[in-house]
Amino acid sequence: MERRRPPQTEEGWYVLHDFRSIDWDAWRAAPERQRSQAIDEGIDYLAACEAVDDADEGESATFAVLGHKADVLVLHLRPTLSDIDTLERRFEHTALAEFTDRADSYLSVTEVSGYMSEEYFDEDAEVEDSGIARYIESRLKPDLPDSEFLSFYPMSKRRGPDHNWYELPFDERAEYLSNHGEIGKDYAGRVTQIISGSVGLDDFEWGITLFGDDPTDVKELLYEMRFDPSSSRFAEFGRFLSARRFPPADLDAFLAGERIPREDEGGHPGASGESEGHHHHRDSDEESGGHHRDDASDGEADVRSELEELGVYAGQPHGEDVHAVVLYSAADADELFEEVDGLRTNFDHYDTHVKTAVYEPRDGESETAIVSLWETERAANTAAGFLADLPDIVRQAGDDETDSWGTMGMFYTVEPAHRGDFLGTFEDAGSLLADMDGHRKTNLLENREDENDMFIASRWDSREDAMQFFRSDAFSETVEFGRDILADRPRHVFLA
Q: Which residues are catalytic?
A: 153
User: What are the CA-CA distances from residue 260 to residues 266, 268, 272 (Å)?
Assistant: 10, 9, 16
Task: Give residue 462's region: left, alpha or beta (phi > 0; psi -120 to 50).
Answer: beta
Residues contacting 360, CB < 8 A, separation 6+: 333, 368, 445, 446, 448
Smallest Cα–Cα separation from 453: which of 480, 476, 483, 487? Answer: 487
Phi, psi at 89, each rounded to 5°: -70, -30
Q: What is the 3-state secondary structure (H, E, C) of the chain?
A: CCCCCCCCEEEEEEEEEEEEEECHHHHHHCCHHHHHHHHHHHHHHHHHHHCCCCCCCCEEEEEEEECCCCCEEEEEEECCHHHHHHHHHHHCCCHHHHHEEEEEEEEEEEEEECCCCHHHHCCCCCCHHHCHHHHHHHHHCCCCCCCCEEEEEEEEECECCCCEHHHCCHHHHHHHHHHHHHHHHCCCCCCEEEEEECCCCCCCCEEEEEEECCHHHHHHHHHHHHCCHHHHCCEEECCCEEEEECCHHHHHHHHCCCCCCCHHHCCCCCCCCCCCCCCCCCCCCCCHHHCCCCCCCHHHHHHHHHHHHCCCCCCCCCCCCCEEEEEEECCCHHHHHHHHHHHHHHHCCCCCEEEEEEEEECCCCCCEEEEEEECCHHHHHHHHHHHCCCCCEEEECCCCCCCCEEEEEEEEEECHHHHHHHHHHHHHHHHHHHCCCCEEEEEEEEECCEEEEEEEEEEECCHHHHHHHHHCHHHHHHHHHHHHHECCCCEEEEEC
What's the burial of 9, exposed, middle or buried (CB within 10 Å: 0-12/13-18/19+)? Answer: middle
